[in-house]
Amino acid sequence: MSTALLQATTHEKKPSITKKKLLPYWLLAPGIIWLVIFFLVPIYQLISTSTQTQGYGIGTYVQTYRFSNFIDAITSSKAQLIRSFEYAFLATAFALIISYPLAYAVAFKSGRWKNTLLVLIVAPFFCSFLLRTVAWEQILGEQGLVIKFLRFAHIMGAQGHLTATPFAVVAGLTYNFLPFMTLPLYASLERIDIRMMEASGDLYANALTTFRKVTIPLSMPGVVAGTLLTFIPAAGDYINAELLGNPGTKMIGNVIEARYLEIVDYPGAAALSLILMVTILILVMAYVKRAGTEELV
């Protein structure tokens, strides 16, 4: 009886073996096609454009493998490139400082308010990024309450202003990417077993040592994820510098935007985009390696 059954199943299996082997690839196909169309093709396009030169007429380019495009791009926009990473670094640092206590409070101290607080953290996403930045322009602007208060309190003189300053750009970046920092931090803090902290206290560590030796190391996956999610888009952002900054606070995103849309220098813009991408990639790889969170994630 059982032998017959066994034979029946093996017999049934035989013709479908090749089909079975192919099945994973069929299941992966939509993803692969998506990646090819929306990632590989544009990347190829970008790389290819970056070494082209102006053809006859505006907006036409021919492939001449002019690698000095990269050198031109760097020399002409070095200041903005460095500034982008400076601002992104500052915004990431501020976001981390603001988010960690916030995420910690939501994860451990919020009790029944936990869900409400999480919704409030996500709430800004219900409104467009652009609109929110415009709103900040109003809030920090000449007619805004912040300026009025600062002048009233004599913290700022009559000539002082907040918009069109590096402060406003970094503040805008910090604000806009804050949820990207808070949510991964919250997720990794929330996963920490409360008994780890009890065990640490039991083993002679006071609250501060417990935080340093147990809570922070165990929340590292969230710190790494949050800082990456903040730093990467912040480094490439141009909206904040555009709306809250001045010509002296232009970031690399602004330069790329201008080259594409105003100067119509596609190769230059493509070269800058690639430089930005590769720099971020190298920084991120070095950072992840340094943080050494592979085992924890």
Number of residues counted as binding other proteins (CB under 8 A)? 20
By CB under 8 A, residue 199 contacts other proteins: yes
By CB under 8 A, residue 200 contacts other proteins: yes
Distance (Å, rounded) from C-alpha 166 to C-alpha 29? 46
Do the Cβ atoms of 164 and 246 come closer than 8 Å?
yes
DSSP string of 29-59? HHHHHHHIIIIIHHHHHHHHHHTEEE-SSTT
Q: Can you read off the two tokens belonging to residue 224? A: 């790494």
By CB under 8 A, residue 206 contacts other proteins: yes
Helix (H) or strand (E) holding 4: helix 2-13
| Position among 32, 198, 248, 286 found at the interface with other proteins (CB under 8 A) | 198
* Residues found in the chain: 297
Instruction: State in angstroms the smallest separation of the CB of 211 from other proteins.
Output: 13
| Position among 18, 143, 202, 294 found at the interface with other proteins (CB under 8 A) | 202
Segment near other proteins (CB under 8 A); pick from 73-81, 114-122, 194-202, 273-281: 194-202
Instruction: State in angstroms the smallest separation of the CB of 180 from other proteins.
Output: 24
By CB under 8 A, residue 205 contacts other proteins: yes
By CB under 8 A, residue 142 contacts other proteins: no
| Position among 20, 57, 112, 193 found at the interface with other proteins (CB under 8 A) | 193
Instruction: State in angstroms the smallest separation of the CB of 104 from other proteins.
Output: 17
Work out the angle at residue 167's Cα, subtended by the Cα atoms of residues 162 and 171, and round it to the nearest 5 degrees.
105
- HSE-CB at 242 with a 13 A cutoff on CA atoms is 14
Helix ranges, 105-163 (H): 114-122, 129-140, 145-152
Count of C-beta atoms within a 10 Å radius of residue 70: 18
| Position among 20, 109, 195, 290 found at the interface with other proteins (CB under 8 A) | 195
By CB under 8 A, residue 288 contacts other proteins: no
Do the Cβ atoms of 274 and 50 come closer than 8 Å?
yes
Do the Cβ atoms of 256 and 84 come closer than 8 Å?
no
Binding flags for other proteins, 208-237, as an x/- string (CB under 8 A): -x---xx--xx-x-----------------
Segment near other proteins (CB under 8 A); pick from 36-44, 103-111, 195-203, 270-278: 195-203
What residues line the site for other proteins (CB under 8 A)?
Answer: 193, 195-196, 198-206, 209, 213-214, 217-218, 220, 295-296
